[in-house]
Structure formats: C-alpha cells, structure tokens
Amino acid sequence: MSKAEQTKAFIIEKTAPIFNKKGYAGTSLSDLTAATGLTKGSIYGNFEDKEHVAMAAFDYNLKKITNLFRSEMAKEQTAKGQLLVYVRLYSSFQKYAFPEGGCPVMNTAIESDDTHPGLKKKAGNAVVAWKDSLASLIRLGVKNKEFRPGVDADSTALVILSMIEGVTMIAGVTGNAAYGSTVMKAVRNIVEGLE
C-alpha cells in the first residue's frame, strides 16, 4: 500500500465514527481535522471534498458491519441459525464490534433521505442487498427442508428487515433498549414460524 493509500485509509478510519454519529450535515471540517490530526489541505489532497470522505466513511462502516455478520454467520450450520444471528447481534450489539454510533445503514438512510442523493443511493443499495441476503437465506432454508415449502422469502425478508431497522431507530431515539428486546423476540418467532 502506497503512502497516499495509507493516508486515505487513515482518514477514512478516523472519520467513519464521526460521520456515523453526527451524520454528513453535522460533521464539520474541524471535526475531520481534529479526528485525524491532519490539515484541511491534507484531507482534501486525498479526497475531492467532504462528500467523498463521507461516502468512503459509509463504505467503511458498512464493510465493518457486514464483516461482523459474515463472521458470526460462518459459525452457524443452518439457514435458521444464520437468520437468528441478526436476533443475537441486534439483541446485544454492545457486545460486538458494531461501528461507533450504531447501524450505518439506518443512520445514513434517515439523514440522507431528502438531503444527500449520493449517500441516499448508497444506503438504499445496502438495504436492498440486506433484504436480498435475508431472502436468500430463507430460500436456502426451504431448499434444505428447514423451512416449509411455499414461504414467501422476499416478503418475509422485508418484514424482518423492517422490524430490525425500525426498532433500532425507535430504541435509539427513545433510549429504551427494552423495545429492542421485544421486537427481537418477535423476529425470532417469525424465523421459528418458518419451520
């Protein structure tokens, strides 16, 4: 890795938690320089502008959470077990290496919905990929006879995803983690009801 690539990676690593907590609009150039210890010129010598730093930070945070889920799913032998990884991780995300600030998909989707088309597109693509991944696991469970035939994988995946992201937002904004426990039990019931 070249020195320029190392500097770029350093900027992304140091600014990713800030963008995930404060959002694009709430993150200032002084936040970026404080986090990295670099000057404005050093940051913008590696990135065209703040938008490009934010988009790279989103990708970094998304990769971090994707790798966490892949690592935990690799420990499971069944489609059902892999689906229940979402329940386990979202029920006790404090124990795992979630990006600082929580779910980058939800954070970015909420902030960028009406304000930032580039980040909105990235968040939207991440949501669709997540839904498709859940649906693929459900189809695998049907194929392996873990789940009953005729399950509507796409609809079920969308419901599970909506419940997870919805309660993440509700628990975060209210500060009431009990909401998360309640909804994660409902997600577990949906998964177990696929059998």
Residue 156: pLDDT over 90: yes
In this structure, how many other beta carbons lie within 10 angstroms of the beta carbon of residue 192? 11
For residues 170 and 6, give the distance between their C-alpha atoms in angstroms, rounded to a whole number: 38
The CATH code of the domain that includes 127 is: 1.10.357.10
94 confidence band (pLDDT: 50, 70, 90): low
- Six-digit token string for 130: 């997540």
Q: What is the pLDDT of residue 102?
A: 79
Q: Higher-confidence residue: 181 or 1?
A: 181
Query: pLDDT tens digits for 45-80?
Result: 999 999 999 999 999 999 999 999 999 999 999 999
d(C-alpha 113, C-alpha 159), whole Å: 20
Contact criterion met (CB below 8 Å) for 1 and 9 = yes
> What's the mean pLDDT in 138-162?
96
Q: What is the pTM of this model?
A: 0.87
Measured at the alpha carbon of residue 108, what is the angle toward residues 65 and 18, in degrees to the nearest 5? 75
- Residue 34: which domain range? 3-192
Query: For the chain, how many structural domains are there in total?
Result: 1
